[in-house]
Structure 1
């Protein structure tokens, strides 16, 4: 053994019995947790837009809720779509201010992270809107038939 070298003693993992977990605070696997309720306005009983949405997005959220008959899972999908839209707008502002690229420490142009974030948010928004099936126009060729389940 070289001089000055001290071996490192590693602790063995704690042994747990069947059905036990290492973390004392983790819940048991068979326990079901309830999903949080969708906030509703007191007057109309319609779902309210989340408070963290921008004003224009919250207005769009209210218009969709007023126009369409949405169940709880549709409202959750709509909330995710609204959040994705806000993320797109925020990235658009940052990109408009700083451009699509920046120079790294070697003075090489690199794409801003906001470009990828905006791209992913656009895809998520398009997929969520398609999942909500809010288009009322007829079927377009090359696409599967639209679901007519959530229309008034």
Structure 2
């Protein structure tokens, strides 16, 4: 496992805060961290190159890594959701779902 320092720190903090000791949670956590690293690498390249690049015919086109960035973000969010670590937009007091939902 070759995670960036940022992803490794995030993984360790999540393992310390939550019970993620079973093998399924470990696979999801690793997948999430790999997606996080992929997302960060895409963000760096897109920032460097711009969101629009020229193709071989000198025509503007979206940066090819935009779709990879989107997919990595979706994979990261899905893993968070499967680990029950997704954040609520409007927090409510106490555990579980808010009343009426």
Common fold: TM-score over 0.5: yes
In the TM superposition, 1:5-44 aligns within 5 A as none
Matched, 1:134 2:82: no
Cα root mean square deviation, aligned: 2.0
Can you list the C-alpha shifts for 1:72-131, whole angstroms capped at 9, x where unaligned? 100110000000000000000001101012111222111111111000001111111000
Note if 1:104 corresponds to 2:62.
no
Secondary structure at the aligned position of 1:69 is classed as coil
Q: What aligned pairs does 1:114-129 form with structure 2 within 5 A after superposition?
A: 114-129=65-80
Matching residue within 78, 97, 102 for 2:29: 78
Q: Distance in 2 between matches of 1:123 and 1:108?
A: 29
Alignment length (residue pairs): 92
Structure 1 stretches lacking a partner, 5+ long: 1-49, 144-152
Q: 1:68 and 2:38 equivalent?
A: no
Cα distance change on mapping 1:56 and 1:101 into 2, 3 Å: same
**5+ residue gaps in structure 2?**
none
Tell me the secondary structure at the aligned position of residue 89 of structure 1. helix
Corresponding position of 2:7: 57
TM-score (norm 2): 0.81
Structure with greater helix percent: 2
Larger RCO (CA under 8 A, 6+ residues apart): 2
Q: Computing the radius of gyration over CA atoms, which structure comes out larger, 1 or 2?
A: 1
